[in-house]
Structure 1
Amino acid sequence: MDVLSLLELVDEATLAALFGLLTGVVFGVAAQRSQFCLRAATVEFARGRLGQRVAVWLLAFSTALIWVQGAALSGLFDVGEARMMAVAGSWSGAIIGGLMFGAGMVLARGCSGRLLVLAATGNLRSVVSGLIFAVVAQMSLHGWLAPLRGWLAGLWVTPGGANVNLLTALGLPDAAGLVLGMAIAALAFVLVRRNGLGLSTMVFASGVGFAVALGWVLTYSLAQVAFEPMAVTSATFSGPSANTLMFFLTENPELDFDIGLVPGVFLGALLAAAWGRELKFQGFEGEGQMRRSMTGAALMGFGAMLAGGCAIGAGVTGGSIFVATAWLALFCMWVGAGVTDWLVDQGGLGQRVPA
């Protein structure tokens, strides 16, 4: 059944939300079963190890590159119509926001996407941190923090009112993205063998990347036939978390892809955790951990909106279409996370602070 047939059954906004729900469920199941987490990968790397967490992240990232670039080459998706490529990007936002987000996810012990997945398994720490993340993200988008975000983002922006495609800027052919994805996948498989990852972990880690490609293709397909303008987007958790929060707090809310995405991830992770018998209530272990997690969530909320996306939105979704500021933000997230882990958890400040 094609998109036009589906539009005979439901309206455009509802279909967009259903596409978001489907993308979210796939992402939630895959992320929960593979334990996909950028924070864990960056900490592992910062401590001089190329272990299971790095292998899982590279598998997810490379799969997203391969599927998305393959879809673009086959005509199922046009990178130029992606929302984050069609608007001006911020170099300063990517740097400052990326560093803040990286530091925040180490303090909170998970990026925004990971917090949502953990919340579905009964982790009350993630519920609290996730709510703080969503509130601060909303404040940064439309609230009291919006002027500061706008000023920082405006310090250094991409020219021409649009973002920069790295492949085009470097003069590389369209197929270069697919080739790079395959090269990263080869490195991931080397680490998979070295660390003894099982087949199921490999499949579910790849499923994270597939979910990103699924979102791109579904929203692009809908945008081509919709009467009203539809955003071409995919998995990200900064804007959607804020929008989902406001959806339940405002009168006459509107449906779109973002509104379906967040509940979809929660549902997928819940089902996967139930299947694996991993549902368990967990709380804060002390006042110090609570302060740390809340501080990290606030840093991530502002940092993600400033950087143009979170660890998933910029790091994987934006990276998969070679948005230049997304790659810069991802690099800064790794740097921010590594430095924070060294300062806070490895004793760089003179003593190790318990997580």
Structure 2
Amino acid sequence: MEDINVNMLTAQVLWAVFILAFAFGALGVRTQFCTMGAIADVVNFGDQRRLRMWMLAIGVAVLGFNLLVAQGSFVADRTLYGGDRWLWASALVGGAMFGFGMVLASGCGSRNLQRLGSGSLKALVVLVVMGLSAWMTLRGLTAVLRVNSVDAWAITLSTPQDLPSVLASALGLSTGQVALGLGVLVGGGVIAWVLSAAEGRERQVLLGGVGVGALLLAVWWVSLQFGHLAEHPETLEEAFLGTASRRGEALNFVSPVAQGYEWLVFYTDAGRRTTTGLVAVLGVFFGSLAVHLVRREFRWEGFRDTADTARHLVGAVLMGIGGVTAMGCSIGQGLSGISTLGLTSIVALGAIVAGCVAGLRFLSWQLERSM
């Protein structure tokens, strides 16, 4: 394959991810898909509609990804969430920080991109601060703290740390066989739970859950199949075109915002590349903007007061540090990572939910105290 063909294929990968992220942003606004909102609805009002929408997206993603592993199209160990290191402490600490922070910041990175598309200057400030904190945790001061603390407590396994690989090794079966069983058991079980209640079968719940899950699988296909080269003509090594990690990637909205800083600051650097993560960030923003403009709902929004500003700033810092430490956000680990059934992703998702619940309790305590 000639260089020009590689460049053309990379451009096609980037455009494909942008279009899928545009659809993700538009669908998120249309259905009010939001991880924090799903948990908050249950904690504050006992309403499970958005929870079932979110869980349906997880079920579709887990089922679809693992069926494709069984079929031979996907390999979990080739993704950003692969490898043989179980980063349990990083996932636990980073996930809890992210979950707590997204409550203070009125939503995760994806949700703030959608809110920015509606004219929220609050969301812009959150994204700027989150991105700077994430950049520091990738390459700066907090990166040193991360590497020398929680990252050092990882457990190195004898197999890739996704659950199908671990169980396949223990049971003497093929990874594909176990992936098929777990995909049907876990993904199918979650889908069955969602559909078991009338509210889980509502049109908006089905649209949001199935739509988001399907879009995530489409991004995985673009990265792991369409953009995959068994042998890059320049390096003669396996390559995943357009990804920052040089592994398969889906949707994530913390590290890619930090990549945006590097892209802007080092734009003239010949080695600086536009990545799938960066175009996904832009896609979600423009998808949200398009919906709000069509609906004539675009309105400028600012902070209410100093306390509101401070709360969002703290939340943004926690999301930036926590999202990088946990290797993903409520979308990055909560959907993309969990679809691979990686052990790190399982811990991260649980920690994000726990941190979110703690954040909601904290805000309730603050409200009661001020009355």
Superposition TM-score, scaled by structure 1 size: 0.89
Which 10-residue stretch deviates more, 35-44 or 170-179?
170-179
Counterpart Cα distance in 1 of 2:254 and 2:155: 21
The correspondence of residues 27-106 of structure 1 with structure 2, limited to 5 A, is 27-47=24-44, 49-86=46-83, 88-106=85-103
* 1:216 paired to 2:220: yes
Question: Where does residue 179 of structure 2 map in the other structure?
Answer: 174
Counterpart Cα distance in 2 of 1:272 and 1:163: 41
* 1:143 paired to 2:149: no
Question: Where does residue 233 of structure 1 map in the other structure?
Answer: 249
Question: Where does residue 260 of structure 1 map in the other structure?
Answer: 279
* 1:346 paired to 2:364: yes
The correspondence of residues 188-337 of structure 1 with structure 2, limited to 5 A, is 188-191=194-197, 193-194=198-199, 197=202, 199-221=203-225, 222-224=227-229, 227=232, 229-230=239-240, 231-250=247-266, 251-252=268-269, 253-337=272-356
Q: Contact 1:108/1:294 (CA < 8 Å) preserved in 2? A: yes
Partner deviation per Cα, 1:206-231 (whole Å, 9 max, x = no partner): 22111211111111111135625222
* 1:156 paired to 2:153: yes
Q: Contact 2:53/2:200 (CA < 8 Å) preserved in 1? A: no
How far is the alpha carbon of 1:312 from its aligned partner? Answer: 0.6
Which 10-residue stretch deviates more, 81-90 or 144-153?
81-90
Counterpart Cα distance in 1 of 2:158 and 2:324: 18
Cα gap change, 1:276/1:327 in structure 2, threshold over 3 Å: closer, same or farther?
Answer: farther
Which 10-residue stretch deviates more, 282-291 or 226-235?
226-235
Question: Where does residue 12 of structure 2 map in the other structure?
Answer: 15
Look up the SS of the partner of 1:248 in the other structure: helix
Q: Contact 2:118/2:299 (CA < 8 Å) preserved in 1? A: yes
How far is the alpha carbon of 1:352 from its aligned partner? Answer: 4.7
Counterpart Cα distance in 2 of 1:86 and 1:185: 28
Counterpart Cα distance in 1 of 2:160 and 2:294: 42
Cα gap change, 1:186/1:135 in structure 2, threshold over 3 Å: closer, same or farther?
Answer: same
Which 10-residue stretch deviates more, 307-316 or 59-68?
59-68
Please report the RMSD computed on the Cα atoms of aligned residues, expressed in angstroms.
2.5
How far is the alpha carbon of 1:11 from its aligned partner? Answer: 2.9
Cα gap change, 1:352/1:272 in structure 2, threshold over 3 Å: closer, same or farther?
Answer: farther
How far is the alpha carbon of 1:12 from its aligned partner? Answer: 4.2
Q: Contact 2:77/2:160 (CA < 8 Å) preserved in 1? A: no
Q: Contact 1:284/1:290 (CA < 8 Å) preserved in 2? A: yes
Aligned length: 346
Which 10-residue stretch deviates more, 291-300 or 180-189?
180-189
How far is the alpha carbon of 1:155 from its aligned partner? Answer: 3.7
Structure 2: runs of 5+ lacking an equivalent? 172-177, 241-246
Partner deviation per Cα, 1:154-212 (whole Å, 9 max, x = no partner): 34213148751123334582212233212111222234x23784x24521332211121
Partner deviation per Cα, 1:286-310 (whole Å, 9 max, x = no partner): 1111110110010010001111111
Cα gap change, 1:201/1:113 in structure 2, threshold over 3 Å: closer, same or farther?
Answer: same
Counterpart Cα distance in 2 of 1:71 and 1:353: 52
Superposition TM-score, scaled by structure 2 size: 0.85
The correspondence of residues 126-137 of structure 1 with structure 2, limited to 5 A, is 126-137=123-134
Counterpart Cα distance in 2 of 1:269 and 1:114: 10
Which 10-residue stretch deviates more, 219-228 or 287-296?
219-228
